[in-house]
Structure 1
Amino acid sequence: MGIIDKTLPSIILIFSALLAIFSLLLPVYAFIPNLIERSIHLGLAIPIIFLAGKQTQRRWRFCLNLLLALSGVFLCIYIIVDFEGVLNQFGIVKNRFQTLMGLAMVLIVLESARRTIKPVLPAITLLFLLYALYGHRIPGYFGHVKYDLSQVMGMLYLTTGGLWGQLTGISANIIAIFVFFGAFIGATGGGTGFTKIALRLAGRLKGGPGKMATVSSALFGTISGSASANVVVDGAFTIPLMKKLGFRPPFAAAVEAVASTGGQIMPPIMGAGAFIMAELTQTPYLKIALAATLPAIIYFFTVWMGIHFFAMRDGLRGLEAEEIPSWPETLRASSFFFLPLAVLIFLLLRHYTPQYAAFWAALSALPLAFFTLDWKFDRTFLTKIKGAVLEGASQVAMIASICVCAQIIIAILSLTGLGVKISTFIIDFSGGALLLTLILTMVTCVVLGMEVPTTAAYIMAAVVAGPVLIKLGIHPVAAHLFIFYFAILSAITPPVCGAVFIASGIAQTDWMQTARYSLRLSYAAFLLPFVFIYDHSLLLIQGSIFDTFLCLIRTTMAMTLLSAGFIGQFRRELNLSGRLIVLALGTLWIVNHWLWDLLGLLGTILIVRDRKWIYKN
């Protein structure tokens, strides 16, 4: 295995570099047939998945990985070379060999997803495949016409509605270039810039390290869109600092987990699901990002206030003046983050496509690799670029496997008509009641998100529940943001909560205690999607500026009071009756009606006047 250990890193680097070059140039040379671009994308991702993992000393295992990698590349090349012939087949296989090729491609995709994420998504995909093949035996409503193996494999392997469908195209066209853009910023030191800005803005406040983690995670979320990556990068600094200044380890981990989870809804680069949302709703990505802006700000405000109330209760202090970086130092470091981000936002506002804007933003980030954070020449610039390429390619390969797996599910939902049947069943079960439908959708998103990545959870829930919400009169952007929001919040919802697990590992504390603190910090945030469903003005898609302003005031008051009630701290520590009163007032502020708002205002004035009977002695 010695020669393999020496040559394998070079092979992985070559495939990673090819994937980076292809992803970066695709927006410029976009006149490539869909079938070809998506086959190239997957053909470059598969070897990275199977060869980049830790190779054991067992020769048979390495040979298996190599066989899977080469087979995946061959099956993608077959589509590229004969793409016109494949399109003219219209999903009808010529012979048994093509059926076997399709089956092999599907199995390789499932195994690649199993290698990169939990086995749950591949298992769900396998169940859908079995449903396509044997669902004709199911009597009644959920049965369908008979499809044999050749028909299913022909549809999946030989059409743009199967493996090479819309989600695979989004992964290749949009998500990949944004992932590399984020990797380039991270490699040049942009992450350090986030931390220094956060330290400068929030470090000296009450509970400063926790609030600093909130600011830093929000900034990191503007380029990342991954809760796990946010926790790893940001938490490695913020969690030890919080523990050092007296934060309980589970609370420190919870702060980072909750703040990092919100990074996926922070524009301009949200989670991968946001790009998919733009395609599914046929809405410009800029409009999606604008719609998500106020809810994202309110989410982080809610977390900020939760930390503030905990800090008041536990007497948590901020950092000392000498621990805060100077403004010149902060501005120098933050320029590595703000310069490329400014290019991205400028081009988006000029109505260029997101991928074209990301192309120029990524190019603007590359020269920054030649400098240290003090703007001195850095001789290790090649190492930084190499690290960015490898890290970006690894993430792109993982996302590609998720998207192709989810694409199989969507293709089978369309082939069998199951998606329409489930949507109709939900409407019939809820009796057309919007609130019950929303609650069912919320539970579905959270449960799916516990076992599969956010993107996959959003896709599956959006395909089934999205049409239901839209049919009940909800704006498509609001409906999909509602689904996306709860798919994200699954990262901090027990019993399976990825962001909590990672943060607890860094803090070296019990994850169950971390999960409890996470929920107390975010209980109020769970109500936020219901607010913008009933009042679209918060998403800037309906209503006047005045309507948006009033909704923003109401929601801010509601989140503050609900956080205070759930944590048990307002001006001082609340007793039980005080907590119930504060929670009731927060609920009044949520409802969009002048009478409820008036009652909420009067009640808030009364408790702000420091009524002693709502506090503990």
Structure 2
Amino acid sequence: MREVDRILLRFIFFFSCLLTLFSLILPVYAFIPNLIERAIHLGLVIPLVFLRGNGERNKLALLLNLLISALGLSLCLYIIIDFRGILEQYGIVKNHLQTLMGLLMVLIVLESARRMIKPVLPTITLLFLLYAIFGHHIPGFFGHVKYDLSQISGMLYLTTGGIWGQLTGISANIIAIFVILGAFIGSTGGEVGFRKISVRLAGRLRGGPAKVATIGSAMFGTISGSASANVVTTGAFTIPMMKKLGFRPPFAAAVEAVASTGGQIMPPIMGAGAFIMAELTETPYLKIAISATLPAILYYFTCWIGIHFFAMRDGLRGLDPEELPSWRETIRASAFFVIPFIVLISLLVRMFTPQYSAFWAVLCTFPFAFFTTEWKFERNFLPKIKRAIEESGSQIAMIASICACAQIIIAILSYTGLGVKISTFIVDLSGGSLFLTLLFTMITCIVLGMEVPTTASYIMAAIVAAPVLIKLGIHPLAAHLFIFYYAILSAITPPVCGAVYIASGLAEADWMETARYSLRLSYAAFLLPFIFIYDYSLLLLGGNLVSTSLCILRTTMSMVMLSGGFIGQFRRTLNPLGRVLLFGIGILWITPLWILDLVAFIGTILIFLDKKWIYKKGI
């Protein structure tokens, strides 16, 4: 099968090149009809999904995968060739052949998602399909009128509201080009730059290696868009470094899991979710990035405080000076990711579209392929470009499969009216209480996020829960950011916590103990969405400089006090009374009542002045 492997790898690289090239052309040549561009995008993705890893299978499986690849490509070509006639059909099938083609396309999309991610999302999608087919048998509120297979097939295959809908369009138009940007930055030396600058900035501090992990993961995570990928990439470097300097393996794994998860909420790129949010809320991407900045900074600030308190408690030191890269070396290496970021942000600020800005940022990475991070000429530069193209194809295929699968759910929610019914049910269940609605939404997002990538869980939760929150008077962007945060946090929330599992494996640690450390480090992320829902100034959506500054102060003090209470450390090791007091003061700081803020302020002063009553004796 070795010759077969080589041929398949060539085909995979060929389709990766086509997909990368097409994704680079779209931002500068945007005159392709929506139906055609989305069909081309998915048509190039399907062979990448089904040809991958076939060398390890038997001949029958290989033949079947080749057949599915050809069939999927043909079904997409049919849409491209006859797109004008299809648009005139308005989703009404002409014959049984079109019905069959639509059903086959749905099955291929489901199988693509199953192969690229775990089977949870395809299973949920299948349940929605069964609801669309048999939902007319359900009595009462959740029932709907009868739809036959031809109607469902036509709606999903022959309209821009089905498989070729908004999410597939976002994947083709916006997400793909940013995936390419991330792959080229990582492959041409940006990954080394992330590592060197984070070690230089934080390496010598108390608990330095753990703080290095937070900086590196924040920078790399914003372009990777995946907590698990971030853990694998940065954790391979940071976890051994932490263990070497005396950090317990579960703690080292927890730091990496929490830091990597937070990368998806860190502007400017924020993974794929921010672009989907921009489309769903009809909000400029730049505004979303600006609104997300303060909560993201506070998230990482809390991680740093938690790491600092743990390091104080366990007597952990930073790196030795000789282990740090020089400033000269750091600055030279950091150019490999700083320059593309500057180009990207500069164009975004000048109000160019995100995809056009990303296109020019990608072009800026090409010259770096010809140099090492020491700025020496790299003769063997072609493998860097090849690796970036292969990584781009793989990541785009995964995200496109997720988006196409989730688009089926969106189509059915809209077609059957189930989305409105679920929203109404949540409002009735909460009795119109904002806090209860937020609580139910939080639980829904975390549950949906278990075993499902962030992008998919955010999409599903946003469709169902966002209208409810907006109906209760919450700003649309705040509502979507609330949902986005909890969709992300499922990666570190037991019992299913993908980032924790992967980090535990790298650290050779018990995953349950790692999960406990993760929750103690990341509790702030579970509070921040509630804070910015009740005070928009944290998102820079309202108020003035004074109100925003006060909100930042209150939130910062709350995070410090709560961290001390959770970990049991402040200046020294806290006794039980000290832990309770710090925890209570932390809660008071985030309560939006001035009298409680005053009590918290007085309590904080007393905590800082006290050197005896709240600490364990002799420690």
TM-score, L = length of structure 2: 0.99
The equivalent residue for 1:360 is 360
Q: Tell me if the contact between 1:221 and 1:269 (Cα under 8 Å) persists in the aligned partners.
A: no
The equivalent residue for 2:5 is 5
Residue identity opposite 1:422 in structure 2 = I
- Map Cα deviations across residues 129-164 of structure 1 (whole Å, 9 max, x no partner): 000000000000000000000000000000000000
* Mapping 1:156-171, distance limit 5 Å: 156-171=156-171
- Map Cα deviations across residues 449-484 of structure 1 (whole Å, 9 max, x no partner): 112111111111111110110111110000000000
Q: Tell me if the contact between 1:225 and 1:265 (Cα under 8 Å) persists in the aligned partners.
A: no
The equivalent residue for 1:23 is 23
CA–CA distance in structure 1, aligned partners of residues 474 and 57 of structure 2: 56
The equivalent residue for 1:449 is 449
Deviation at 1:2, TM superposition (A): 4.0
Deviation at 1:524, TM superposition (A): 2.6
SS in 2 for 1:501: helix
The equivalent residue for 2:130 is 130
Deviation at 1:54, TM superposition (A): 4.3
CA–CA distance in structure 1, aligned partners of residues 54 and 570 of structure 2: 51
Q: Tell me if the contact between 2:190 and 2:333 (Cα under 8 Å) persists in the aligned partners.
A: yes
The equivalent residue for 1:374 is 374
Residue identity opposite 1:418 in structure 2 = L
CA–CA distance in structure 2, aligned partners of residues 423 and 380 of structure 1: 56
Q: Tell me if the contact between 2:54 and 2:62 (Cα under 8 Å) persists in the aligned partners.
A: no
Residue identity opposite 1:79 in structure 2 = I
Deviation at 1:591, TM superposition (A): 1.6
Aligned CA distance change for structure 1 residues 88 and 185 (closer, same or farther; 3 Å): same
Deviation at 1:392, TM superposition (A): 1.0
The equivalent residue for 2:337 is 337
SS in 1 for 2:450: helix
The equivalent residue for 2:140 is 140
Residue identity opposite 2:74 in structure 1 = F
Matched, 1:417 2:417: yes
Residue identity opposite 1:560 in structure 2 = V
The equivalent residue for 2:33 is 33
Q: Tell me if the contact between 1:525 and 1:559 (Cα under 8 Å) persists in the aligned partners.
A: no
Deviation at 1:418, TM superposition (A): 0.3
Deviation at 1:578, TM superposition (A): 1.1
The equivalent residue for 2:201 is 201
Q: Tell me if the contact between 1:571 and 1:610 (Cα under 8 Å) persists in the aligned partners.
A: no
* Mapping 1:277-316, distance limit 5 Å: 277-316=277-316
The equivalent residue for 2:585 is 585
- Map Cα deviations across residues 269-323 of structure 1 (whole Å, 9 max, x no partner): 0121111110010000000000000000000000000000000000000000000
* Mapping 1:452-531, distance limit 5 Å: 452-531=452-531
Deviation at 1:225, TM superposition (A): 2.2
Residue identity opposite 1:416 in structure 2 = T
The equivalent residue for 1:221 is 221
Aligned CA distance change for structure 1 residues 596 and 143 (closer, same or farther; 3 Å): same
CA–CA distance in structure 2, aligned partners of residues 598 and 483 of structure 1: 31
Residue identity opposite 1:586 in structure 2 = G
RMSD: 0.8
SS in 2 for 1:205: coil
Residue identity opposite 1:150 in structure 2 = S
Residue identity opposite 2:531 in structure 1 = V
CA–CA distance in structure 2, aligned partners of residues 363 and 122 of structure 1: 36
* Mapping 1:225-304, distance limit 5 Å: 225-304=225-304
Deviation at 1:432, TM superposition (A): 0.7
- Tell me which moved more, 593-602 or 31-40: 593-602
CA–CA distance in structure 2, aligned partners of residues 558 and 568 of structure 1: 15
CA–CA distance in structure 2, aligned partners of residues 557 and 417 of structure 1: 45
- Map Cα deviations across residues 401-453 of structure 1 (whole Å, 9 max, x no partner): 00001000000000000000000011111111000000000000011111211
CA–CA distance in structure 2, aligned partners of residues 503 and 380 of structure 1: 33
- Tell me which moved more, 35-44 or 584-593: 584-593
CA–CA distance in structure 1, aligned partners of residues 54 and 258 of structure 2: 31
CA–CA distance in structure 2, aligned partners of residues 495 and 547 of structure 1: 38
Q: Tell me if the contact between 1:220 and 1:263 (Cα under 8 Å) persists in the aligned partners.
A: yes
Q: Tell me if the contact between 2:166 and 2:407 (Cα under 8 Å) persists in the aligned partners.
A: yes
CA–CA distance in structure 2, aligned partners of residues 610 and 599 of structure 1: 16
- Map Cα deviations across residues 511-547 of structure 1 (whole Å, 9 max, x no partner): 1111111011112321011000000000011111111
Q: Tell me if the contact between 2:222 and 2:271 (Cα under 8 Å) persists in the aligned partners.
A: no
- Tell me which moved more, 319-328 or 542-551: 542-551
Residue identity opposite 2:524 in structure 1 = A
Residue identity opposite 2:103 in structure 1 = L
- Map Cα deviations across residues 57-77 of structure 1 (whole Å, 9 max, x no partner): 410010111111111100000
Residue identity opposite 2:551 in structure 1 = C
CA–CA distance in structure 1, aligned partners of residues 157 and 451 of structure 2: 27
The equivalent residue for 1:317 is 317
The equivalent residue for 1:45 is 45
CA–CA distance in structure 2, aligned partners of residues 350 and 151 of structure 1: 45
Q: Tell me if the contact between 1:450 and 1:490 (Cα under 8 Å) persists in the aligned partners.
A: yes
Matched, 1:565 2:557: no
Q: Tell me if the contact between 2:559 and 2:586 (Cα under 8 Å) persists in the aligned partners.
A: yes
SS in 1 for 2:160: coil
Residue identity opposite 2:612 in structure 1 = K
SS in 1 for 2:359: helix
SS in 2 for 1:480: helix
Q: Tell me if the contact between 1:523 and 1:566 (Cα under 8 Å) persists in the aligned partners.
A: no
CA–CA distance in structure 2, aligned partners of residues 365 and 266 of structure 1: 21
CA–CA distance in structure 2, aligned partners of residues 572 and 324 of structure 1: 29
* Mapping 1:19-98, distance limit 5 Å: 19-98=19-98
- Tell me which moved more, 569-578 or 107-116: 569-578
The equivalent residue for 2:397 is 397
CA–CA distance in structure 2, aligned partners of residues 518 and 544 of structure 1: 34
Residue identity opposite 1:277 in structure 2 = M
CA–CA distance in structure 1, aligned partners of residues 205 and 419 of structure 2: 50
Residue identity opposite 1:376 in structure 2 = K
Deviation at 1:577, TM superposition (A): 1.6
CA–CA distance in structure 2, aligned partners of residues 361 and 589 of structure 1: 42
The equivalent residue for 1:539 is 539
CA–CA distance in structure 2, aligned partners of residues 347 and 221 of structure 1: 21
Q: Tell me if the contact between 2:348 and 2:357 (Cα under 8 Å) persists in the aligned partners.
A: yes
CA–CA distance in structure 1, aligned partners of residues 102 and 325 of structure 2: 57
Residue identity opposite 2:281 in structure 1 = T
Q: Tell me if the contact between 2:586 and 2:600 (Cα under 8 Å) persists in the aligned partners.
A: yes
CA–CA distance in structure 2, aligned partners of residues 323 and 115 of structure 1: 42
Deviation at 1:592, TM superposition (A): 2.2
Q: Tell me if the contact between 2:239 and 2:252 (Cα under 8 Å) persists in the aligned partners.
A: yes
Structure 2 unpaired stretches of 5+: none
The equivalent residue for 1:177 is 177
CA–CA distance in structure 2, aligned partners of residues 366 and 229 of structure 1: 23
Q: Tell me if the contact between 2:223 and 2:271 (Cα under 8 Å) persists in the aligned partners.
A: no
SS in 2 for 1:222: helix
Q: Tell me if the contact between 1:27 and 1:356 (Cα under 8 Å) persists in the aligned partners.
A: yes
SS in 1 for 2:449: helix
Q: Tell me if the contact between 2:470 and 2:476 (Cα under 8 Å) persists in the aligned partners.
A: yes
CA–CA distance in structure 1, aligned partners of residues 2 and 210 of structure 2: 47
Deviation at 1:595, TM superposition (A): 1.1
Aligned CA distance change for structure 1 residues 2 and 202 (closer, same or farther; 3 Å): closer
- Map Cα deviations across residues 570-600 of structure 1 (whole Å, 9 max, x no partner): 1111111211110110011112222111111
SS in 2 for 1:29: coil
CA–CA distance in structure 2, aligned partners of residues 545 and 278 of structure 1: 25
Write out the 4+ residue segments of structure 1 that deviate beyond 2 Å after TM superposition: 53-57, 221-225
The equivalent residue for 1:112 is 112
- Map Cα deviations across residues 80-119 of structure 1 (whole Å, 9 max, x no partner): 0000011111000011011000000000000010001010
Deviation at 1:223, TM superposition (A): 2.2
